[in-house]
Amino acid sequence: EAGVVQSPRYKIIEKKQPVAFWCNPISGHNTLYWYLQNLGQGPELLIRYENEEAVDDSQLPKDRFSAERLKGVDSTLKIQPAELGDSAVYLCASSLRGSGGNEQFFGPGTRLTVL
Amino acid sequence: SQQGEEDPQALSIQEGENATMNCSYKTSINNLQWYRQNSGRGLVHLILIRSNEREKHSGRLRVTLDTSKKSSSLLITASRAADTASYFCATETSGTYKYIFGTGTRLKVLA
């Protein structure tokens, strides 16, 4: 079974440029998460989807970040314009929907460097 | 902002020794999970303990949960060099499916 796929793995851009990350979750997983992880820190949730609905986007900086999950499968996270402080690893995870106790399966992440 | 605080921040032990790391959190939870992250790799789920459980085992892992103290511990017995990684606790806030990760413990096992 394929795991969570993310692309690109690395991205270097100049500030004020746009950037997009793509995630393909594990087949059959209804729930999809985007996390941001700074160096030496744990992941911080940006947005959570149940199917195609964003059910928790309270931590997403909506002035510059946007996300979508078309048809409840793949998802794209976009930053426009990027700022220096956005340099981090962006992680995508997926899980089966259900009662509490969903194991999250993480992708390898996209390491973003903003110059 | 992160809810969980992990202690210690870093731990260095010899191969064969036991490693214990602790996680404290702030709100009521449905369950708590532990994840491992190797350098340059994604997070991998290790074990889950529900709020009505006090202790759980999986191979060389032992997790305890004390909801009255809002804390959990992860014990890795007979550690190996391959256990070198960062370990994170993640709590699911009661009434939600939202997970909040801790700050992590960086474990180094010396061969």
Model confidence pLDDT, tens digit, residues A9-65: 999 999 999 999 999 999 999 999 999 999 989 999 999 999 999 998 989 999 999
Question: What is the pLDDT of chain A when averaged over all its residues?
Answer: 92
In this complex, is the C-beta atom of A108 within 8 Å of any C-beta atom belonging to chain B?
yes
Whole-number pLDDT of residue B95: 80
B40 pLDDT band, cuts 50/70/90, is: low
Judge: A42–B104 Cβ closer than 8 Å, yes or no.
yes
B2 interfaces chain A, CB cutoff of 8 Å: yes
| pLDDT at position A100 | 60
What's the longest Cα–Cα distance across chain A? 42
Specify the pLDDT at position A72: 84
SS3 content of chain B, % helix, strand, coil (to 5): 5, 60, 35
Query: CB distance from B104 to chain A under 8 Å?
Result: yes
Query: What is the nearest CA distance from A92 to chain B, expressed in angstroms?
Result: 10
Is B88 in contact with B37 (CB distance < 8 Å)? yes
Contact residues, chain A, for B92 at CB < 8 Å: 100-101
Question: Which of A46-50, A108-112, B9-13, B98-102 is the least confident region?
Answer: B98-102
Across the A/B interface, how many CB contacts are shorter than 8 Å?
Answer: 61
Q: What is the mean pLDDT of residues B15-22?
A: 97
Give the pLDDT confidence score for residue A81 in this predicted structure.
96
